[in-house]
Amino acid sequence: MAFTTKVALDYLRGAQARSRLAHAYLITGATGSGKRNLAADVAHLVNGASTGAVFAGSAPDVYLAGPESKSRRIVVEQIRALEHALQLRASDGRRKVAIISEADRMMAQAANAFLKTLEEPPNNSLLLLLSAIPEVLPDTIRSRCLAIPLAPPTDAKLSDEANELLELLNGHATTGSGEVHEAYQLVQGFQRLLGRIRRSIEEENDEAQQREETRYRNTTDGAWLEHREEHYKAFTESLYLHRRAELVEILFRWWGDVLRSGTGVPARELPTARASTEASARRLTTQEILQRLRRLEELRDHLGRNIPEALALEVAFLNIFRF
């Protein structure tokens, strides 16, 4: 059963009042479900930290970890630094709080190090793990945390491009045979969606820039207009990268549902894709699904570097969508 953030916080507030808080919680849910907000509220509940200061890194006795390395993974050095901080004495009698965002991105060595902390938690500490794909975490970690699944936002609505991507994924999984040419067709469909997104953003910003030029051409100098042109170019690229990241997130959610289906978890982030994710789960072992999720992480990392977009996508799709 999934909770709203309010119900989850009320539950934890009651446990706090009865001195029955567990030492570790695994807060799960789709993007937008409120994992970070709940973690900030819990930190405020147990040690009085300002909710606004929690993820700004300025809340006393609240320690953060999340993907920071070039590979967008949580490395063992981060976990060791977190463990060291938790061993320190809290100030003013506060409870020490550790929050690990995107905990499913812990590398194996980091996960093993954190397991020791879960097995022997420091005195007066509370561990909060946040994850959209908790099934990726080792069973040894999940079994030592109390799970708090959050419901997806009720107003969540996929974009037209996201729905079209789901249609492509559904068709590939239910009617395809996993051949190389089918993976190429899928990546070409993905690239067409990206092309349409870029054109839409460019057209909208071009119109806005032209309106500005018409309005201010006779009241300002040419240097200002050139500055605005550079502004719109940067704005276009920023919007495009944001929309591209949203489509990559759909890939993560789809493969997360494949993993849930393969491991017998009934919850789904993309209910309309249930048939296709279940079909893919029947073709692959759990280890093979996890490997594809890792390939997606590599894709996200490559798209954040100077690797050409088309090359990064083609290599990733060939590795991920061949069965």
Q: Is residue 311 scored above 80 in pLDDT?
A: yes
- Specify if 202 maps to a domain: no
Give CA–CA dist 254/273, Å, rounded: 8
Residue with tokens 């061993």: 87
Verify that 29 and 130 share a domain, yes or no.
yes
- 208 within a domain of the structure (yes/no): no
Task: Read off the pLDDT band of 218 (50, 70, 90).
Answer: low
Task: Determine if the pTM surpasses 0.75.
Answer: no
Same domain? 166 vs 311: yes
Residue 121 and residue 26 in one domain = yes
Strand bridging mode 146-149 / 62-65:
unpaired
**What per-residue confidence (pLDDT) applies to 92?**
79
Find the angle CA(104)-CA(66)-CA(44) to the nearest 5 degrees. 105
Instruction: Please tell me whether residues 10 and 140 are part of one structural domain.
Output: yes
Q: How many domains is the chain partitioned into structurally? A: 2
User: Is residue 219 included in any domain, yes or no?
Assistant: no
Highest mean pLDDT out of 158-162, 236-240, 315-319: 315-319
Give the side-chain half-sphere CA count within 13 A for 92.
6
Radius of gyration in angstroms for the set of CA atoms belonging to the chain, rounded to a whole number: 23
Q: How confident is the model at residue 171 (pLDDT cuts 50, 70, 90)?
A: very high
Which CA distances in Å does 182 have to 131, 310, 320? 31, 17, 12
256 and 192, same domain (yes or no): yes
pLDDT at 296: 93
Identify whether 104 is part of a domain.
yes
Please check whether residues 182 and 285 belong to one and the same domain: yes
Looking at the DSSP bridge assignments, the partners of residue 150 are 3
pLDDT confidence tier of residue 155, bands split at 50, 70 and 90: low
Please give the single-letter amino acid code of residue 211.
R
| Same domain membership, residue 10 and residue 72 | yes
Cα–Cα distance, 95 to 127 (Å, whole number): 11
- Please tell me the distance from the alpha carbon of residue 288 to that of residue 290, in angstroms, as a whole number: 5
* Tens-place pLDDT, residues 263-299: 888 878 898 999 999 999 999 999 999 999 999 989 9
- The range of the structural domain enclosing residue 45 comes to 5-149
From 149, 173, 208, the end of a domain falls on 149
Does 58 share its domain with 142? yes
Give the CATH number of the domain where residue 85 resides.
Answer: 3.40.50.300
C-alpha dihedral sign at 310, 316, 319, 321: negative
Q: Is residue 278 part of a domain?
A: yes
The pairing of beta strand 24-28 with beta strand 62-65:
unpaired
278: which 2 tokens?
């279940």
CA-based angle 207:209:214, to the nearest 5? 95
Domain identity same for 145 and 173: no
**Beta carbons within 10 angstroms of residue 319's beta carbon:** 16
Same domain, yes or no: 178 and 288: yes
- Please check whether residues 183 and 261 belong to one and the same domain: yes
Residue 10 domain-assigned (yes or no): yes
154 assigned to some structural domain = no
Q: What is the C-alpha separation between 62 and 79, in angstroms, rounded?
A: 14
